[in-house]
Amino acid sequence: GENVEQHPSTLSVQEGDSAVIKCTYSDSASNYFPWYKQELGKRPQLIIDIRSNVGEKKDQRIAVTLNKTAKHFSLHITETQPEDSAVYFCAASEYGNKLVFGAGTILRVKS
């Protein structure tokens, strides 16, 4: 089955700096890669996703890149703000829309 590795496990950045979180996946058949943000005590919130026929997708300060050959994808957050502080999970989609999540990255934005 699919296996997703996520790095780093924690990331501290200064407000206004950029943050990058990287994930690798094992199953070359996976073709959907969402990113979720989860604040403490709240639900995972879908912030951006990318499909395998696209190499990059942007939504304001957030972007995701996908390299299918290398089987890795990354989340980029520019101009970070304190409210970006949360746990971020990457995921890859297997059969039947089964999402396999990475272990998560705790992002701290220091003001």
Partner 1 sequence: DTEVTQTPKHLVMGMTNKKSLKCEQHMGHRAMYWYKQKAKKPPELMFVYSYEKLSINESVPSRFSPECPNSSLLNLHLHALQPEDSALYLCASSPWEAVNQPQHFGDGTRLSIL
Reference 32, options 89, 73, 87, 70; nearest CA is 73
Q: Determine the Cα–Cα distance for residues 33 and 73; give it in Å rounded to an integer.
A: 8
Interface map 43-82 toward partner 1 (x if CB under 8 A): xxxx--x-x-------------------------------
Taking CB under 8 A as the rule, does residue 24 contact partner 1?
no
Task: Tell the smallest beta-carbon distance from residue 25 to partner 1 (Å).
Answer: 13
φ/ψ region of 82 (left if φ > 0, alpha if ψ in -120 to 50, else beta) reads: alpha
Using CB under 8 A, list all residues that contact partner 1: 30-32, 34, 36, 42-46, 49, 51, 89, 91, 93-99, 101-104
